[in-house]
Amino acid sequence: MKILLVDDEPEVCRLVKTMIEPLGVEVRTSSDSQEAALILANEKFDGIMLDVAMPNLDGFELTRRIRSTPPNQQAPIIMITGFDDVDTIRRAFEAGATFFIGKPFSREKIYAILRTARGAMLAERRRSATLPYRTSVTCAREGERFNATSINIGEVGMALESSGTAQVDDVLSLEFNMPDVKKPVKVTGRIRVKEAAGRTSIEFINPSDAGRDVIREYIHDKVTE
């Protein structure tokens, strides 16, 4: 898994990183909360650990920013603080924190919070994963029906090599096959990006439970292999 650790004390970053990395977790650190905000706006993480008391953006404000913009809106956030009063904990959760850990650190305390957060981090990793997947996709919209080939797929969408004359924000009905599934998957998707070469990024719109489960099972099996 991949975690961003944000604390304005470099020594704390080094200490926590040393504790976490032996667990097989990739840890990136930042001692500047504004720098961290830029990183989080452009790079996906499975989980985030951040301090409350920091100059520039404190932990509450940074958490609110994370929750208001992709790509880490749903990533689990572990809030770190030297204050364990009820008001601080309440503000942390109201800002969007998922878990809470107080200073001073111990290896046992770090391991315990990561065990607690592991399920949520793995779920986020699977949800955001995009895997190569090639299959024929039948696409339809008002007045047009065409065939395309998928490039990749994830729980939230897929990429196609082409999209006919459809443009950004157009809605398409999609039908395609998944491995070991007899019936084709039918979903609706909105075009989010269309490149000059024709490659198109599709975001699924409220897929059926059956369609969502088929795609989720495929992603789950591949990510955990």
Structural domains in the chain? Answer: 2-128 (3.40.50.2300), 131-223 (2.40.10.220)
- Dihedral, CA of residue 30, residue 91, residue 123 and residue 9, to nearest 10: 20
Q: What's this model's pTM, rounded to 2 decimal places?
A: 0.71
Nearest to 16 by CA among 58, 57, 48, 64: 48
pLDDT in tens, 143-197: 889 999 999 999 889 999 988 888 899 999 999 999 989 899 999 999 998 987 7
Is the separation of the CB atoms in 176 and 150 below 8 Å? yes
Could you read off the pLDDT of 77-104 as tens digits, one per residue?
A: 999 987 767 888 889 999 999 999 988 8
